[in-house]
Amino acid sequence: MTFLRGRAELGVAAFLALVGVVVLVDGLGLPTVSAAADPVGTRPMPLVVGTMLLVCAVFLAVDVVRGGRGEVEGGEDVDLDHPSDWRTVGLLLVAFVANIVLIDRLGFVISGAILFWGSCFALGSRHLVRDPLISVALSLGTFYGFYSGLGIHLPAGVLQGVL
C-alpha cells in the first residue's frame, strides 16, 4: 500500500490501458475484407490507436514508478495549496446528474434551474432567496431566448402549455 501512496497517476495508466484494450478488441472484431477501392480498410486505424494507447500506458506507468509526475494545472481561481475538495465536486456531480435525469421529464426550465441553484449551493453560496430567483430567471430567459431568438425549442416538460 505504501508503494501506491502518491502514485494515483498509475490510475491514469490503467485507464489508458483499458481504453487501449477496448479499442484493440473492437478493431480486431472488424471484418478483414479489403476491396480494391479501399485497400486499407477499417481495421488498421483502430489497431494503431489501440497499440499506441497501450504503449503510452506502459511508458506512463514506468515514468510514475520512477518518480515522474504530471504537472497539475493552475488557473486564476485555483489554489493548489489545499487538498482537493471532493465534497464540492460530488455535490456538483449530483446537480449535473439530476439535470440529465430530469430534463426530459420535467422540462428544461425546471431542470436547468435545479442545475444552476444546485451548483451555486455546492460551491458555497447560501443566499436562500437570491440564488433560486437568479436560477429561475436564467432558466426562463434561456428558454424564451432560444425559442424566439434562435428557433430552438427546448423541452417544456410538465410546464407544457404554461410557458
Partner 1 sequence: MDLGPLMEGFATAATPMNLLYATIGVILGTAVGVLPGIGPAMTVALLLPVTYSLPPTSALIMFAGVYYGGMYGGSTTSILLNTPGESSSVVTAIEGNLMAKRGRAAQALATAAIGSFVAGTIGTALLVACAPIVTKFAVSMGAPDYFAVMLLALLAVSAVLGSSRLRGFCSLGLGLAIGLIGLDRVSGQPRLTFGQAELADGIDIVVVAVAIFALGEALWVAAHLRRKAAQIIPVGQPWMGREDWKRSWKPWLRGTAYGFPFGALPAGGAEIPTFLSYITEKRLSKHRDEFGKGAIEGVAGPEAANNASAAGTLVPMLSLGLPTNATAAIMLAALTGFGIQPGPLLFQKEPQLVWGLIASLFIGNALLLLLNLPLAPAWAKLLQIPRPYLYAGILFFASLGAYAVNLQSFDLVLLLVFGLVGFMMRRFGLPILPLIIGVIIGPRIERQLRTALSVAGGDVSTLWSEPLAVGIYVIIAVLLLWPLLVRLLRRNPRRPRFKDA
Write down the least CB distance from residue 53 to partner 1, Å: 4
Question: Binding-site residue total for partner 1 (CB under 8 A)?
Answer: 83
Name the DSSP letter for residue 158.
Answer: G
For partner 1, the binding residue among 21, 94, 136, 146 (CB under 8 A) is: 146
Contact present, 27 and 47 (Cβ < 8 Å): yes
Name the DSSP letter for residue 66.
Answer: T
- Among 158, 120, 116, smallest CA distance to 137 is for 116
CA 162 to chain CA centroid, nearest Å: 33
Binding marks (x or -) toward partner 1, 91..130, rule CB under 8 A? Answer: -xx-xxx-xx--xx---x---x--xxx-xx-xxxx-----
4 or 37: CB nearest partner 1: 37
Write down the least CB distance from residue 72 to partner 1, Å: 6
Fill in the amino acid letter for 161: G
Write down the least CB distance from residue 30 to partner 1, Å: 6
Q: Is residue 59 involved in binding partner 1 (CB under 8 A)?
A: yes
Write down the least CB distance from residue 93 to partner 1, Å: 8
Q: Is residue 138 involved in binding partner 1 (CB under 8 A)?
A: yes
Q: Is residue 40 involved in binding partner 1 (CB under 8 A)?
A: yes
> Grid coordinates representing 59?
511508458
CA 29 to chain CA centroid, nearest Å: 28
Separation between Cα atoms, residue 116 and residue 132, nearest integer Å: 9
